[in-house]
Amino acid sequence: MTQRLYLGVDGGGTKTRFALMDDDGQLLAQAQTGTTYHPEVGLDGVQRILAEGIASVLQQVGAADAGSLAYAFFGLPAHGEDTRATARLDAIPAQVLGHDRYRCDNDMVCGWAGSLACGDGINIVAGTGSIGYGQRQGTGARGGGWGEAFSDEGSAYWIAVQGLNAYSRMSDGRLPTGPLHALVNQRLALATDLDLCARIYGPDVGTRAEIAQISRIVADAARAGDAAARAIYARAGDELACIVIAIRDRLGFTDGETVPVSYSGGAFSAGDLLMQPFADALHAASPAFALRTPLHEPHYGAALYARLIATG
């Protein structure tokens, strides 16, 4: 193989995706493994999952080992949010690759690098969690992404929790009963409404990613005309726009300067339920925001960024 190889790794709260590309930007191999969210799988789990995915893409191109990689970029969830854990995360790829031709950062960078092909602008990620990241003239800034306990507004997890809150209010009469109530009972197979407590808090409590999947029920309820569910998606769009606005200000975009904005993450699979209020909130804030369809997926963006770092 004469072309240099670049590895991109997009970690996430649900899955981790790997992309291998050459100097020409051709995608040569890709793979998917489980989450690399270290609070859930542990640091040893992160190393194991990375090793599994890297071995898969290298095998697909017939590479003997990771020594053939010119450079790699690892976007890892929760990177930068715990000083001690981040130091460990930064060291893990060297143990897997056997060299130091790599860089680690938060997985938010993968969304930006893919959606905007490493160009100036801001990307908002709304997956299991939510976070925004952008760059302008080589300077980067993030917003949101403080975790599900008190942040991650507009994410699938946040939408799910807001939906469960609405369900509880419908159950005891604080909200009018809408389609959401019956859908939750049906999809979660609840014998009684209060069985939801066991479903969420009990011994078989779902993971963060599994709870986030309940956002799909909220989306279906919104499509069925549930007013509370539709209001949740409207608020989600506003919250995501607030993150973008804050990042624009931190990056120093000037008045009237076009601000490219893109998006990534599974919460956007709800389509116009989320996209329309997000776009409306951006437009209301400034006509300079230019909402753009993502150019590439985040794992490919991570490989693009690896190439940019190595050659830039």
**Percent of the chain residues topping a pLDDT of 70:** 99
What digits encode the pLDDT tens for the residues 255-302? 889 999 999 999 999 999 999 999 999 999 999 999 999 999 999 999
Nearest to 75 by CA among 41, 40, 114: 114
What digits encode the pLDDT tens for the residues 273-285? 999 999 999 999 9
- What's the start-to-end Cα distance of the chain, in Å? 23
5-117+296-311 with 119-294: one CATH topology? yes
Q: For tokens 């197979």, what's the residue?
A: 189
What digits encode the pLDDT tens for the residues 153-183? 999 999 999 999 999 999 999 999 999 999 9
Mean pLDDT of 144-152: 94
**Beta-strand pair 102-106/69-76:** parallel
Nearest to 79 by CA among 66, 69, 88: 88
Dist. CA 214–CA 304, nearest whole Å: 33
Asked if 57 and 29 touch (Cβ cutoff 8 Å), the reply is: yes
CATH 3.30.420.40 at 119-294, yes or no: yes
**Domain locations along the chain:** 5-117+296-311, 119-294
Q: How confident is the model at residue 18 (pLDDT cuts 50, 70, 90)?
A: very high
Dist. CA 240–CA 244, nearest whole Å: 7
Q: How confident is the model at residue 202 (pLDDT cuts 50, 70, 90)?
A: confident
Determine the pLDDT at residue 111: 95
What's the whole-number average pLDDT of the chain? 96
Determine the pLDDT at residue 2: 66
**Going by C-beta distance under 8 Å and a sequence separation of 6 or more, which residues neighbour residue 188?**
196, 199, 214, 217
> H helices of 141-178, where?
156-172
One-letter amino acid at 155 equals S
Domain 5-117+296-311 class in CATH:
alpha beta
Angle between helices 215-223 and 156-172 (to 10 degrees): 60
